[in-house]
Amino acid sequence: MMSIVSKLSVTEDVTLVTFNRVSADFRQVAAIFERFSMDKIDIDMISQSAPQSDSVSVSFTMNDSDVGKVFAAARQIAQNSGVKPLVSTGYCKVQLYGENMPGTSGVASRAFSAVAAQGCQVMMVTTSEVDISLLVSQEHLADTIQALEQEFGVSLEG
């Protein structure tokens, strides 16, 4: 039988950026990403909340090495829109990958339950058809990895 999850990997030194109360007009969201693109900041995990009234929250991650560029871009974004980001460092992206995930129900449930049982706080989740990415603090990294290795019978890539 093929394993549902075939790969477990980690990216360390990740910064989380969140813009709250961004206009639900998608042009403002696009303008935020355009500004970061101008500074050649490589953005990874992206998550947007469903609209609440007339605004959304947008979060994304990047490598800690770009955090200085974030503050420069944030100043310009705040001048143009009045929206300031929350920026925090010290995170790790833990990624589960499996070509057999599509059409298999319960993979996220198993991953979330295993991590929750270890008492690990997940700051952000993104998915695709073949992967689940969890953003956790460096403090919770070892417990998160152990929980996922046990749940899915896969070892961290070295």
Q: Are 91 and 16 in contact (CB under 8 A)?
A: yes
Residue 2 has pLDDT above 80, yes or no: no
Cα(first)–Cα(last) distance of the chain, in Å? 24
Range 7-12+91-152: architecture per CATH: 2-Layer Sandwich (3.30)
Q: Domain segments of the chain: what residues?
A: 7-12+91-152, 15-89
Q: Is the pLDDT of residue 28 over 70?
A: yes
pTM of the model: 0.92
Q: What's the whole-number average pLDDT of the chain?
A: 93
Q: What is the distance between the alpha carbons of residues 87 and 74, in angstroms, rounded to a whole number? A: 10
Q: What is the mean pLDDT of residues 65-92?
A: 89
What is the distance between the alpha carbons of residues 147 and 125, in angstroms, rounded to a whole number? 16
Task: Assess contact for 43 and 62: CB atoms under 8 A.
Answer: yes
Residue with tokens 């990740």: 14
For the record, the structure tokens of 19 come out as: 């813009």
At what angle are helices 141-152 and 107-117 packed, to 10 degrees?
130
Q: Which CATH superfamily is domain 15-89 in?
A: ACT domain (3.30.70.260)
Percentage of residues in the chain with pLDDT exceeding 90? Answer: 85
pLDDT level of residue 84 (50, 70, 90 thresholds): confident
Contact 98, 107 (CB under 8 A): yes
Contact 35, 67 (CB under 8 A): no
Say yes or no to pLDDT of 111 above 90: yes
> Is 16 in contact with 135 (CB distance < 8 Å)?
yes
Mean pLDDT of the region 67-79? 88
